[in-house]
Structure 1
Amino acid sequence: MPFSTLPEPIVAALTEKGYAQPTSVQAAVMEPEATGRDLLVSAQTGSGKTVAFGLAMANDLLADGGPGYVTAPLALVVAPTRELALQVSKELEWLFAQARLRIVTCVGGMDPIRERRALHGGAHIVVGTPGRLRDHQERGALDLSALRFVVLDEADEMLDMGFREDLEQLLDATPETRRTFLFSATMPKPIVAMARRYQNDALRISTIDERQGHGDITYQAMAVSPSDIEHAVVNLLRFHEAETAMLFCATRDNVNHLHATLNERGFAAVALSGEHSQNERNRALQALRDGRARVCVATDVAARGIDIATLNLVVHVEIPRDAETLQHRSGRTGRAGRKGTAVLIVPYPRRRRVEMMLRGARIDAEWVPVPGADAIRERDAERMLGRMIATVEEPSEHELATAERLLAEKTPQELALALVRAHMATLPQPEDMADTGEMPERGRRREGFDEVVWFRMDIGRRQNADPRWLLPLLCRRGHVSRNEIGAIRISANQTHFQIPNAIAARFSAALARTAQEGAEDESGIHIELSPDTPREVARTNARGGNDRPQRGPRPGGSGGPRGNREGGREFGGRGGPGGEGGRGGRGGYGESRGAPRGPRSAGGDRGGY
Structure 2
Amino acid sequence: MHSDTHAASGLPAAIHPALARALEKKGYETLTPVQLGVLEERCENADLLVSAQTGSGKTVAFGIAIAPTLLSGQDQFLPADTPLALVIAPTRELALQVQRELNWLYGDTGVRTASCVGGMDIRTERRNLERGAHIVVGTPGRLRDHITRRALDLSGIKAVVLDEADEMLDLGFREDLEFILDAAPVERRTLLFSATVPPAIAKLAKTFQRDAVRLTATSATERHADIDYQVMVVAKDEREHAIINTLLYFDQSNAIVFCQTRDAVKHLTARLSNRGFSVVALSGELTQSERTNALQAMRDGRARVCVATDVAARGIDLPNLDLVVHADLPTNPETLLHRSGRTGRAGRKGVCVLIVPQHRRNGASRVLKFANIDAGYRAAPTSADIDAHYNQRILDEAQAISPIQEDEAEMVGRLVESLSAEQLAIAYLRQQRAARPAPEEISDTPVPTGREKGARSGQHDGAPSERGPRKPDMEDGVWFSLSLGRKHRADPKWLLPMICKAGGVTKKDVGSIKIEDTETRFQISGDMAARYAQTLAIGGSGEKGVTITQTGESPDFAPHPKKGKAGYGKRNGKPKSAAGKTKFKPAGNKPRTRRAKGPQGPDFG
TM-score of the superposed pair, with normalisation by structure 2 = 0.82
Deviation (angstroms), 1:294: 1.4
Task: Note closer, same or farther for the CA distance 1:556–1:62 as it changes in structure 2 (3 Å cut).
Answer: farther
Counterpart contact for 1:75–1:149, Cα < 8 Å: yes
Q: For 1:540-568, what per-residue CA distance to the aligned partner results, in whole angstroms no more than 9, with x for missing partners?
A: 89987469x9998775999xxx9999xxx
Task: Note closer, same or farther for the CA distance 1:307–1:490 as it changes in structure 2 (3 Å cut).
Answer: farther
Q: For 1:129-169, what per-residue CA distance to the aligned partner results, in whole angstroms no more than 9, with x for missing partners?
A: 11111111110011112211110111111112221221111
Partner Cα separation in structure 2 for residue 423 and residue 551 of structure 1: 65
More deviation, 403-412/346-355: 403-412
Task: Note closer, same or farther for the CA distance 1:199–1:461 as it changes in structure 2 (3 Å cut).
Answer: farther
Counterpart contact for 2:259–2:310, Cα < 8 Å: yes
Task: Note closer, same or farther for the CA distance 1:270–1:570 as it changes in structure 2 (3 Å cut).
Answer: farther
Indicate which of 537, 543, 550 corresponds to 1:511.
543
State the secondary structure of the residue aligned to 2:153: coil
Partner Cα separation in structure 2 for residue 428 and residue 21 of structure 1: 41
State the secondary structure of the residue aligned to 1:296: strand
State the secondary structure of the residue aligned to 1:298: strand
Q: For 1:219-259, what per-residue CA distance to the aligned partner results, in whole angstroms no more than 9, with x for missing partners?
A: 01111111111111111111111431111111111111111
Deviation (angstroms), 1:306: 1.6
The corresponding residue for 1:230 is 240
Task: Note closer, same or farther for the CA distance 1:404–1:555 as it changes in structure 2 (3 Å cut).
Answer: farther
5 Å matches for 1:61-140?
Answer: 61-65=70-74, 68-140=78-150
The corresponding residue for 2:522 is 496
**Is 1:351 equivalent to 2:377 in the alignment?**
no
Deviation (angstroms), 1:382: 0.9
More deviation, 433-442/143-152: 433-442
Counterpart contact for 2:245–2:381, Cα < 8 Å: yes
Partner Cα separation in structure 1 for residue 405 and residue 129 of structure 2: 57
The corresponding residue for 2:393 is 383
Task: Note closer, same or farther for the CA distance 1:214–1:509 as it changes in structure 2 (3 Å cut).
Answer: closer
Indicate which of 17, 29, 33 corresponds to 1:8.
17
Higher radius of gyration, 1 or 2: 2
Task: Note closer, same or farther for the CA distance 1:459–1:509 as it changes in structure 2 (3 Å cut).
Answer: closer
Partner Cα separation in structure 2 for residue 121 and residue 392 of structure 1: 53
Task: Note closer, same or farther for the CA distance 1:427–1:64 as it changes in structure 2 (3 Å cut).
Answer: closer
The corresponding residue for 2:511 is 487
Structure 1 portions without partners, runs of 5+? 516-525, 577-609
**Is 1:421 equivalent to 2:430 in the alignment?**
yes
Deviation (angstroms), 1:475: 6.3
Q: For 1:21-50, what per-residue CA distance to the aligned partner results, in whole angstroms no more than 9, with x for missing partners?
A: 322111111110111211111112122111
Partner Cα separation in structure 2 for residue 464 and residue 299 of structure 1: 34
The corresponding residue for 2:303 is 293
Deviation (angstroms), 1:196: 1.6
Task: Note closer, same or farther for the CA distance 1:131–1:546 as it changes in structure 2 (3 Å cut).
Answer: farther
What is the letter of the counterpart of residue 336 of structure 1?
Answer: A
Partner Cα separation in structure 1 for residue 117 and residue 36 of structure 2: 30
Task: Note closer, same or farther for the CA distance 1:503–1:330 as it changes in structure 2 (3 Å cut).
Answer: same
Partner Cα separation in structure 2 for residue 412 and residue 550 of structure 1: 82
The corresponding residue for 1:326 is 336
Percent identity for Structure 1 against Structure 2: 44
The corresponding residue for 1:587 is none
Counterpart contact for 2:282–2:294, Cα < 8 Å: yes
Counterpart contact for 2:69–2:159, Cα < 8 Å: no
Deviation (angstroms), 1:211: 3.6
Counterpart contact for 1:473–1:571, Cα < 8 Å: no
The corresponding residue for 1:310 is 320
The corresponding residue for 1:571 is 602
Deviation (angstroms), 1:379: 0.8
Partner Cα separation in structure 2 for residue 461 and residue 211 of structure 1: 47
Partner Cα separation in structure 2 for residue 182 and residue 564 of structure 1: 52
What is the letter of the counterpart of residue 401 of structure 1?
Answer: E
State the secondary structure of the residue aligned to 1:105: strand
- RMSD of aligned C-alpha atoms? 3.5
Counterpart contact for 1:465–1:490, Cα < 8 Å: no
Indicate which of 526, 549, 557 corresponds to 1:529.
549
Equivalent pairs counted in the alignment come to 550
Partner Cα separation in structure 1 for residue 250 and residue 387 of structure 2: 11
The corresponding residue for 1:167 is 177
What is the letter of the counterpart of residue 404 of structure 1?
Answer: G
Counterpart contact for 1:248–1:300, Cα < 8 Å: yes
Deviation (angstroms), 1:462: 12
Indicate which of 355, 367, 381 corresponds to 1:371.
381
State the secondary structure of the residue aligned to 1:353: helix
